[in-house]
Structure 1
Amino acid sequence: MASAVAAAAGQELSNPPSDGITNLRFSNHSDNLLVSSWDKSVRLYEASANVLRGEFMHAGPVLDCCFHDDSSGFSVAADNTVRRSNKEDILGRHDAPVRCVEYSYAAGQLITGSWDKTLKCWDPRGTSGQGRTLVGTYPQPERVYSLSLVGNRLVVATAGRHVNIYDLRNMSQPEQKRESSLKYQTRCVRCYPNGTGYALSSVEGRVSMEFFDLSEAIQAKKYAFKCHRKSEAGRDIVYPVNAIAYHPIYGTFATGGCDGYVNVWDGNNKKRLYQYTKYPTSIAALSFSRDGRLLAVASSYTFEEGPISNESDAIFVRSVNDIEVKPKPKVYPNPPA
């Protein structure tokens, strides 16, 4: 990669995964970064120092990961297992590949979503073995594609454009059962940091902004917008929106698409704030650091056009400036004299 492009992309981490990156997440306590990959590994980096601190293996491609504390986490894989990354012991299993994992600090539970059409909650404080750690199994209408947590609220997005919203304190039934506002397959769901709703992205270059409150006044505020698309030779080319990440300070959010671009949005004012220089290939995952100073970007081809990319998988960590992520104040015209 040319040096100018590299500088614009951010610092490229050494020792990246050797196959497709499925997710990356910053710790809530430091600049440590957890990365999952199709090469069957979970990697722990100290991102600001560009150092690989540890590597843990599954028997199959790792599809998601999340932190538990600053140096350990959980991972889920196509080998149907749920693991603790620091001990490499099997916490539990599903009957099909496990696509998503989230740890709830509010409930002290681990939540996993699988292509076996179930959601499972685990108590990670128990000893190894499914019988002692499984809290509950909750059937879903279809394969689970994405999960997101805010406080005690859990949003589950599945195949078939279903969205289930749960209260972790009472998982017996979803609080709400919804259908995606978008017409095509869901790629990612992320809750607003303020707990009022969630953003949902699709394979067809769109993001919808949704609200939990079902009152008519609040539901009137929801909207969807087009992104990660271009016009070429008189036709629209649209790209899947693979990733959404919220800035922890300003509540703005970044999206990453198969077009190789990362855009930053002000959802309240319905504006794009910034677009970063194009990355070498598709954006597979995004994560802001706990203080919002860093943005980790996984540039990893996602096979949307078949096996044609020669670009290697890479993780970039870029410094974030306020001009890129801070909402711009509204300017009101001066009143007449």
Structure 2
Amino acid sequence: MATFGASSSANTNPNKSSEVAQPPGDSVSSICFSPKANFLVASSWDNQVRCWEIMKTGTTIGSVPKASMSHDKPVLCSTWKDDGTTVFSGGCDNQVKMWPLLSGGQPVTVAMHDAPVKEVAWIPEMSLLVSGSWDKTVRYWDLRQSTPVHTQQLPERCYTLSVKHPLMVVGTADRNLIVFNLQNPQAEFKRIVSPLKYQTRCVAAFPDQQGFLVGSIEGRVGVHHLDEAQQSKNFTFKCHREGNEIYAVNSLNFHPVHQTFATAGSDGAFNFWDKDSKQRLKAMARCSQPIPSSAFNNDGSIFAYAVCYDWSKGAENHNPATAKTSIFLHSPQEAEVKAKPRSGVSGRR
């Protein structure tokens, strides 16, 4: 069996994507674009959060490193404030830091947990920050005070979190999916056992707030609607598999315009899908290492994805000589991300 990190660098970039200049020195844990401009942020296991300015001219994409900041331990998550001025990041130092990036300000600690912070999201409709941790809590923070506005107990460690106000979905260990209506954030709206048999890796709330996607370690995605009357639309499908080899689905991103979505996995591939017609729109070539995180920019014209060792096959399969970390930028063609008209023919499952 071929091991990641040991493969040749010849197919590191088989999709001929643009490469971000001066990538992190260790594996990337999260990437996210500013909601206002083409600034890309990546958090990494080397304790750093970095920002690049991305320039797109026609089909040419370039990048310029702009700034970086440090945590005391590996950083696991990052997100932007909705005005595009500020970045929040959390990690293994049990802290969330606020970085006023565009004003050149210094990062300050704005949230604390009792264990590593796995997820962080800004909720503009509430002017609150939400953080999810391995301490089995989600905490809501008003940045003007040092204690949480509310601490919500979870049944297990937080692995993933997605917000599309008023919908928030939290995926925890033991395959729990906890749904919150943020108009009443201090109570669970619904608790669901994942429709997938194995550990949850990622969730993404539908843009219309009517449901969510969930991805697991066994190369499968579930499409779940919250309304009982819509349950017939729920389904699961296989992806990120190669023969008998099964890979984790690490990232789920909705396209901001067409509302189709991308999956990225430990097989080093990313694919574009239309959930409504149950079709894969485009399968991209596999890179030589896993893709742990991916993101669309604010208008969907750039899809960023990190390619690096994700430790899913343990330290014994990590080869420092070949395990380079890269962040690539792909310009999706309209045919790759725009839903095809439905003709009444059922799609593949």
Please report the TM-score for the alignment, with normalisation by the length of structure 1: 0.92
Residue type at the aligned position of 1:61: P
Deviation at 1:7, TM superposition (A): 7.1
Deviation at 1:6, TM superposition (A): 4.0
Cα distance change on mapping 1:329 and 1:61 into 2, 3 Å: same
Task: State how far apart, in whole Å, the 2-side matches of 1:139 and 1:252 are.
Answer: 33
Provide the residue aligned with 2:324 in structure 1: 312
Provide the residue aligned with 1:289 in structure 2: 297
1:75 aligns with 2:89: yes
1:50 aligns with 2:63: yes
Provide the residue aligned with 2:226 in structure 1: 212
- What's the secondary structure of 1:193's corresponding residue? coil
Cα contact 2:34–2:80 (8 A) shared by 1: yes
Cα contact 1:42–1:85 (8 A) shared by 2: no
Gaps of 5+ in 1: none
Task: State how far apart, in whole Å, the 1-side matches of 2:206 and 2:245 are.
Answer: 29
Task: State how far apart, in whole Å, the 2-side matches of 1:135 and 1:330 are.
Answer: 46
Task: State how far apart, in whole Å, the 2-side matches of 1:208 and 1:332 are.
Answer: 22
Deviations 1:275-296 (A, max 9, x none): 1122231011110111110000
Residue type at the aligned position of 2:139: K
> Greater shift after overlay, 33-42 or 300-309?
300-309
Task: State how far apart, in whole Å, the 2-side matches of 1:9 and 1:104 are.
Answer: 36
Deviation at 1:237, TM superposition (A): 1.3
Task: State how far apart, in whole Å, the 1-side matches of 2:183 and 2:342 are.
Answer: 39
> Greater shift after overlay, 41-50 or 134-143?
41-50
**Structure showing greater relative contact order (alpha-carbon pairs closer than 8 Å, 6 or more residues apart):** 2
Deviation at 1:259, TM superposition (A): 0.5
Cα contact 1:47–1:317 (8 A) shared by 2: no
Residue type at the aligned position of 1:36: S
Task: State how far apart, in whole Å, the 1-side matches of 2:205 and 2:282 are.
Answer: 21
Task: State how far apart, in whole Å, the 2-side matches of 1:195 and 1:168 are.
Answer: 11
Deviation at 1:27, TM superposition (A): 1.1
- What's the secondary structure of 1:8's corresponding residue? coil
- What's the secondary structure of 2:335's corresponding residue? helix
Cα contact 1:192–1:199 (8 A) shared by 2: yes
Residue type at the aligned position of 2:230: I
Task: State how far apart, in whole Å, the 2-side matches of 1:240 and 1:224 are.
Answer: 15
- What's the secondary structure of 1:146's corresponding residue? strand
- What's the secondary structure of 1:263's corresponding residue? strand
Residue type at the aligned position of 2:220: R
Provide the residue aligned with 2:108 in structure 1: 89
Task: State how far apart, in whole Å, the 2-side matches of 1:226 and 1:92 are.
Answer: 38
Task: State how far apart, in whole Å, the 1-side matches of 2:97 and 2:194 are.
Answer: 31
Provide the residue aligned with 2:4 in structure 1: none
Considering only aligned residues, what root-mean-square deviation do their CA atoms show, in Å?
Answer: 1.6
- What's the secondary structure of 1:304's corresponding residue? coil
Provide the residue aligned with 1:16 in structure 2: 23
Deviation at 1:305, TM superposition (A): 1.6
Cα distance change on mapping 1:152 and 1:330 into 2, 3 Å: closer
Residue type at the aligned position of 1:55: S
Q: Once the two structures are aligned, what percentage of the paired residues are identical? A: 36
Task: State how far apart, in whole Å, the 1-side matches of 2:12 and 2:139 are.
Answer: 43
Cα contact 1:298–1:315 (8 A) shared by 2: yes
Deviation at 1:5, TM superposition (A): 6.5
Task: State how far apart, in whole Å, the 2-side matches of 1:230 and 1:154 are.
Answer: 33
Q: Write the mapping of 1:6-155 to structure 2, written as runs, cut at 5 A.
A: 6=13, 8-48=15-55, 49-68=62-81, 69-86=83-100, 87-124=106-143, 126=144, 130-131=146-147, 134-155=148-169
Cα contact 2:95–2:111 (8 A) shared by 1: yes
